[in-house]
Structure 1
């Protein structure tokens, strides 16, 4: 009778534990993590400086200027006003480019680089499914992007609020850069840039084309959201007669023009009003009886921010679904087992 050979520990094969993907992801993209952290820290310090000492100095300079009255000569701290304006412009621009920086990085390295070099395919042989691999590459960076961008837009909004009523040259809430740099919609746009980069990387498998495509696609999405923004919440209409002139006032303009006697809306020729005979004849020929102005007042700030954010996140959710569909169509979504080959 043949005796059975004892089973040794060496003969027993145990599948290796799945690697800790989040830790590996952070180590793999450590340079980008350092750059992002440095950018957030430096820009946060600049925004705190803007909303604190710079605003105080510029506000005091405007008080000096206002106290001059009709005096022929006026001594005031003009450099502080100029410094505030310059720092505000630079920090606002820096916050606005955050979604594009995220899109460029995500498109160039987050998925395309690993697919291009074969690192992703090697990971899928280590009991890690492609779906889990992609989930980690979306979730971990999304948390960091949301935290960093959220901090920046909050500090920008506080810095802008600190100068309201104190600085005569301060931007209005409806100013395009101010509205986005200090609003939560920019956080959603940064997350959208991340998703766009991931999806483009899955499609291209090449870093440089994916980088360019991601930035262009994010710019297109930004433009789409901005075009839809004025129509995401019911606007307020102000009507005036021809003798009163065109309506004035601040806010985010949706549409404006002239009204005819039948209530029809026509574009305003902007010829100067009834004080000029030629202009009066032009308005008479158009049967104009007054003006209209559809706009959003300050009270619509948060409704517009929230609806624009919801639209942006909805687009991002669709792109996340598309990214998983693309991955599943190419890999089947299951971990690849078997002998590991060099890539």
Structure 2
């Protein structure tokens, strides 16, 4: 009687099944989380937006009429739910990083489960590749769905609800585009690397969350410089301050030589005040400049930032594979 033959292909297919079985509770929680936030965003996109838009229509119809009634509760409800949903979407990269650091690799190295898998005909490299690929698909799909629904909800409210955030509002900008999906993948890669480095769940969890936070902070600092800016110039006598709306990169006043300088303290971009006009005359100012990103730069900034963050995720992944041999000795 011959022993059954286990082909490499069957082992390759069995590893993802084993991974899904091992992390089934986390997968179920992830699905429930995505569905719950998606339901909230769909509720915002439909009934809540309609009710708040009607309340704002009533409010504007009141004019200066005293004791005019409008549905203030609908306006406040929409504002609260919009804030809750935005921050729920923004929390995804940190949640992914915490799970990946605590459970994906760190716990298995800590408990010895990974070593057992390596003795069953699964190479460490294949083990790590599956460990990263299967969750990456789930993370990218779930986060992408939330970002899409948030963007649709935000777009549906423009021109209808006065309290809707501008496109360049920082939380709205990140929750509305693919850069958040890239940050979630950074969380996954950072968690896997931290688990390999520390081989302890709690230490890897804290390290992964800190790593994502640092990447996010660095991205916030460099994002305005990822795409060429637009510059608008206004004269001292215009009286309207700076021209142009968007993500501000720089502002100040111009001199007769064309040199740029920071705004005068306590005056800002306004020269109609006699004291400020005297200050700007002494500085030989001829006008004000505003260097910024208009709304037309939204997608260039999103895509460039997402590509940069994906490069970071790739670097973390490569580092994890380079560290793996040291953990298999």
User: TM-score, normalising length from structure 2?
Assistant: 0.94
State the Cα deviation string for residues 84-140 of structure 1 (Å, max 9, x = none): 000000000000000000000000110000011111111111111100000001000
| Distance in structure 2 (CA, Å) of the matches to 1:212 and 1:319 | 16
The corresponding residue for 1:202 is 196
| Distance in structure 1 (CA, Å) of the matches to 2:79 and 2:105 | 40
SS in 2 for 1:37: helix
User: Which segments of 5 or more consecutive residues in structure 1 lack a partner in the other structure?
Assistant: 1-7, 333-343
SS in 2 for 1:115: helix
Asked if 1:50 is matched to 2:50, the reply is: no
The corresponding residue for 2:219 is 225
The corresponding residue for 1:280 is 277
Which of 299, 309, 314 is the equivalent residue of 1:312?
309
The corresponding residue for 2:171 is 177
The corresponding residue for 1:96 is 90
Question: How many angstroms does 1:319 deviate by?
Answer: 1.1
Asked if 1:41 is matched to 2:38, the reply is: no
The corresponding residue for 1:301 is 298
Asked if 1:156 is matched to 2:123, the reply is: no
Moved more, 59-68 or 93-102: 59-68
| Distance in structure 2 (CA, Å) of the matches to 1:247 and 1:180 | 25
State the Cα deviation string for residues 128-156 of structure 1 (Å, max 9, x = none): 11000000010000000000000000000
State the Cα deviation string for residues 286-321 of structure 1 (Å, max 9, x = none): 322211111111111111111111111111111111
Moved more, 267-276 or 256-265: 267-276
RMSD: 1.7
The corresponding residue for 1:139 is 133
Structure with bigger helix share is 2
User: TM-score, normalising length from structure 1?
Assistant: 0.90
Greater radius of gyration (CA): 1
Q: Verify the 8 A CA contact 1:16 1:126 in the aligned structure 2.
A: no
Which of 244, 249, 256 is the equivalent residue of 1:254?
249
Q: Verify the 8 A CA contact 1:44 1:152 in the aligned structure 2.
A: yes
User: Which segments of 5 or more consecutive residues in structure 2 lack a partner in the other structure?
Assistant: none
The corresponding residue for 1:337 is none
Question: How many angstroms does 1:331 deviate by?
Answer: 3.0
Trace 1:68-83 onto structure 2 (pairs within 5 A): 68-83=62-77
